[in-house]
Amino acid sequence: MSKTMIVTGASRGIGAAVATVASAKGVNLMLNARSEDALNELARSLGVDPTRIVVVAGDVSNEQVCDRIVATAIERFGGIDVVVNNAGILDPIGTLDTVTADDWVRNLMVNVAGPVLLSQRAIQFLRERHGCIINISSGAAVKAVRGWSAYCTSKAALNHFNRMLAAEFPEITAIAVSPGMTATDMQVMVREQGEGRMPREEHQRFIDAHRRGELRSPDAVARVIVALGLSAPREMSGEFVTVDDPRVTSLL
């Protein structure tokens, strides 16, 4: 029986790459992002049996959207094996005294409440199949990057939520993953909008990494995420890992 994977933030970047890698392995896909057109375009581009892919557009910080994602996956595929909580935002960039409260809270809603709501809806089905939740985190979860207070805080919260999933639900495997610097739209945003809103040396670090070609490709990160989702050992549950962790790369 083919496994079923939910991927949020699937319209571009790491999410789209995860969908591509997983589809090549015969995985059924429930794809989510805010743009329905982009999701449908991705689904068509994968060139696989359309009965293996379903899309639900909407913001994962909305409870009704999470309800629809899970209900649609169950209706179409009969179960859920993997949830990849990938949808996330960097905004706002700026120190706490220069950003709006609404933007700060919006970051927490997408980066923390979204994974919480979707995991809550999916957990009973994941327990039935001893499934896996992959929470896409960041090195910023354990490093204070000036100008990224909302993002750093949200990813730290996501890491601890991941630990709580492992503690409360031993039937599943929950892993938080740091992709490292990856060639996504978020990196473009940092380079284009970080000047004057981040310390000069910190902003320059991202520019230099891009110039030197040091960014990982979304495909390389996606291969790790899919491998973890499909075959991570249970003893890794609750951990925060990097994509180059030897225990992770050994699964490829």
Task: Give yes or no: 143 in active site.
Answer: no
**What's the half-sphere exposure (Cβ side, CA atoms, 13 Å) at 25?**
20
Task: Give yes or no: 45 in active site.
Answer: no
Active-site annotation holder among 11, 138, 149, 151? 151
Active-site annotation holder among 11, 154, 155, 237? 155
Q: Angle, to 10 degrees, between the axis of helix 218-231 and the axis of helix 13-24? A: 60
- DSSP-based helix, strand, coil % in the chain, nearest 5: 55, 15, 30
Other CB atoms within a 10 A radius of the CB of residue 100 amount to 10
Active-site annotation holder among 23, 119, 137, 154? 137
115-145 b/e with 16+ CB inside 10 Å = b? bbbbbebbbebbeebebbbbbbbbebbeeeb
Task: Give yes or no: 25 in active site.
Answer: no
Q: Which residues are catalytic?
A: 137, 151, 155
